[in-house]
């Protein structure tokens, strides 16, 4: 059986949903589990809803209404007749969301975030499943919260593999077409959890692993994995084959095509991952599998924007040794600051980090008790895998470089902006 993943961009409007159906028609729809993200920019819109709820912003109900209207517009395009039960179904889901917000007593932001943001996927899968039924494709709508079991680290939940394996094996009918949500799961109290932004690819890998799938296909609006984000880099080329190890490296350095955690479960069972175009589904796309490192073997460019460069030195010019380093790392862990690059000398230590949870100020305050700390926000981290001189020179042009690091395979610079 196969696992497919359709991201937000592929179901951003009625035409997108119709296209998913046509892809399934072309490539077959039996023995397939389809993992779907929230439609278009719904997750971002729900993040705004969550912030407005926290801030008691009077715009809150308008924002929910705008989101509901956008989905209702798609329903009208897809189902035409408002008599179709899907209208009442989606309306009831929005009522549920409002009821949650009215009744919630928890002050915990991350918990609230997951309970609310997950509606995006519940809604998108409900719409797709009903539309497939309308088009004559029998399918099972599965609630991922009953299948992907996690701990209670809201917004960054860790999978309980044993419980997940058990739930998936006993529920999913491999012969059928199943539709389920990416990104979401539930903890032991059955509260919704999420696997981190852009986590739907990872969900697809979790399902594939537990189902011993023959492959995972991620359907995208590009032809496959390119050697750089075409919105940032010029003259990008399609990669035909990438080994798991290389893909993990690329993801680690921030290549946004594949979620960092997605590949490990697939590699363990040697399940190939195909990245394919939902516009040209007959094209082969990119295969991430056991085999050649990279084909064609060319430099790959990655950028991470909005990073923070933190430099630490000891207050008394003493060396920064293992003991300090482990202390520094435990603070990064405590404040959920993700480290992307490390450079250290005897008395100083520089790291480029991601402040996606917004705990930077607290971290800096705690570090200042022990170290001399300086930091610069809004820096960019550029990485070239398999660099050559021409690639490095081209990248450095017109940039203010704050830090540079070279390895045998990897070249990295931190630049202003």
Q: Which residues form the interface with Mg ion (CB under 5 A)?
A: 8, 37, 43
Sequence-distant (6+) residues with CB within 8 A of 100 are 115, 116
- Nearer CB in complex with Mg ion: 43/241: 43
> Tell me, what DSSP letter sits at residue 340?
E
Shortest Å, Cβ 199 to ligand ASP: 5
Nearest distance from residue 32's CB to Mg ion, in Å? 21
* Interaction of residue 198 with ligand ASP, rule CB under 6 A: yes
Site for ligand ASP in 33-92 (CB under 6 A): 37-38, 43
Q: Which is nearer to Mg ion, 192 or 267 (CB)?
A: 192
CA atoms within 13 A on the CB side of 325: 15
Q: Could you tell me the smallest distance in angstroms from the CB atom of residue 181 to ligand ASP? A: 9
Site membership for ligand ASP, residue 228 (CB under 6 A): no
Does position 7 bind ligand ASP by CB under 6 A?
yes
Distance CA 390, CA 52 (A): 48
356 binds ligand ASP (CB under 6 A): no
Q: Kindly tell me which of 193 and 313 has the beta carbon lying closer to ligand ASP.
A: 193
Closer to Mg ion at the Cβ: 35 or 159?
Answer: 35
Contacted by 1, from Mg ion, ligand ASP, none: CB < 5 to 8 Å by type: none
Helix (H) or strand (E) holding 367: helix 360-368
> Could you please report the per-residue DSSP string of 162-226?
HHHHHHHHHH--TTSEEEEESSEEE-TT--EEE--TTTHHHHHHHHHHHHT-SEEEEEESSSS-B
Find the shortest distance in angstroms from Cβ 364 to Mg ion: 31
3-state secondary structure of 274: strand
Using CB under 6 A, which of 16, 40, 182, 185 touches ligand ASP?
182
Q: How many angstroms separate the most distant Cα atoms in the chain?
A: 75
Residue identified by tokens 């599965």 is 142
Q: Are 266 and 209 in contact (CB under 8 A)?
A: yes
- Pick from 205, 164, 181, 35: nearest CA to 117: 181
Cβ atoms of residues 181 and 36 within 8 Å: yes
Residue with Cβ nearer Mg ion (8 or 224): 8
What are 341's strand-pairing partners? 352
The site partner of 382 among ligand ASP, Mg ion, none (C-beta below 5 to 8 Å per kind) is none
Q: Phi and psi (nearest 5°) for 343?
A: -140, 125
185 binds, among Mg ion, ligand ASP, none (CB under 5 to 8 A by kind): none
Q: Closest separation between CB of residue 2 and ligand ASP, Å?
A: 19
Contact between 192 and ligand ASP by CB under 6 A: the answer reads no
Q: Which DSSP string corresponds to 26-88?
A: HH--TTEEEEE--STTHHHHHHHHHHHHHTT-TTHHHHHHHHHHHHHHHHHHHH--TTSHHHH
Residue nearest to ligand ASP (CB): 200
Of the candidates 197, 338, 359, 370, which one interacts with ligand ASP according to CB under 6 A?
197
Rounded Cα gap, residues 117 and 50, in angstroms = 8
Candidates 126, 200, 277, 287; binder of ligand ASP (CB under 6 A) is: 200
Candidates 10-18, 131-139, 196-204, 264-272 — which segment interacts with ligand ASP by CB under 6 A? 196-204
Residues 16, 40, 185, 199: which binds ligand ASP (CB under 6 A)?
199
Site for ligand ASP in 110-129 (CB under 6 A): 120
C-beta atoms surrounding 100 within 10 Å: 15
The Cβ of residue 76 has, within 10 Å, a number of other Cβ atoms equal to: 14
Q: Which stretch binds ligand ASP (CB under 6 A): 78-86, 193-201, 343-351, 370-378?
A: 193-201
Mapped onto helix, strand or coil, the DSSP state of residue 280 is: coil
Which partner in ligand ASP, Mg ion, none is near 183 (CB below 5 to 8 A by kind)? ligand ASP
Q: Which does 285 bind (CB under 5 to 8 A by kind): ligand ASP, Mg ion, none?
A: none
Q: Which does 182 bind (CB under 5 to 8 A by kind): ligand ASP, Mg ion, none?
A: ligand ASP
The answer to whether the beta carbons of residues 86 and 64 sit under 8 Å apart is no
CB of 308 to Mg ion, least distance (A): 25
Interaction site with ligand ASP (CB under 6 A): 7-8, 37-38, 43, 120, 182-183, 197-200
């Amino acid at each position: 059986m196969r696992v497919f993943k359709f991201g937000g961009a592929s179901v951003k409007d009625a035409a997108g949903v119709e296209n998913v159906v046509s892809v399934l028609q072309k490539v077959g729809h039996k023995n397939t589990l389809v993992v779907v993200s929230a439609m278009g920019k719904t997750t971002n819109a729900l993040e705004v809803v969550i912030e407005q709820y926290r801030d008691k912003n009077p715009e809150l109900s308008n924002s929910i209404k705008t989101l509901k209207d956008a989905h209702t517009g798609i329903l009208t395009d897809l189902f035409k007749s408002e008599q179709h039960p899907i209208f009442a179904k989606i309306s009831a889901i929005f009522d549920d969301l409002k009821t949650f917000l009215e009744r919630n007593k928890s002050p915990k932001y991350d918990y609230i975030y997951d309970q609310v943001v997950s509606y995006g996927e519940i809604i998108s899968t409900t719409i797709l499943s009903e539309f497939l039924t309308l088009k004559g494709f029998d399918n099972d709508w599965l609630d991922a919260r009953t299948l992907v079991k996690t701990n209670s680290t809201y917004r960054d939940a860790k999978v309980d593999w044993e419980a997940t394996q058990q739930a998936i094996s006993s529920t999913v009918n491999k012969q059928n077409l199943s539709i389920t949500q990416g990104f979401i799961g539930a903890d032991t109290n059955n509260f919704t959890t999420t696997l981190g932004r852009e986590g739907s690819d990872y969900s697809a890998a979790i399902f594939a692993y537990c189902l011993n799938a023959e492959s995972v296909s991620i359907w995208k609006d590009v032809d496959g994995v390119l050697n750089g984000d075409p919105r940032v880099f010029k003259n990008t080329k399609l990669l035909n084959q990438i080994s798991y190890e290389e893909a993990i490296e690329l993801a680690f350095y921030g290549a946004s095509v594949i979620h960092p955690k997605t590949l490990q479960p697939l590699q363990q069972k040697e399940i190939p991952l195909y990245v394919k175009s939902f516009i040209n589904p007959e094209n082969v796309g990119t295969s991430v599998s056991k085999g050649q490192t990279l084909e064609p073997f060319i430099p790959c460019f990655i950028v991470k924007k909005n990073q923070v460069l933190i430099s630490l030195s000891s207050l008394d010019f003493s060396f920064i040794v293992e003991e300090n380093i482990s202390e520094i790392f435990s603070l990064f862990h405590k404040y959920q600051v993700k480290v992307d690059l490390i450079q250290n000398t005897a008395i100083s230590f520089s790291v480029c980090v991601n402040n996606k949870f917004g705990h930077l100020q607290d971290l800096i305050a705690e570090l200042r008790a022990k170290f001399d700390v300086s930091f610069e926000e809004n820096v960019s981290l550029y990485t070239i895998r398999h660099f050559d001189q021409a690639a490095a020179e081209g990248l450095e042009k017109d940039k203010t470089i704050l830090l540079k690091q070279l390895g045998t395979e990897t070249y990295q610079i931190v630049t202003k902006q």
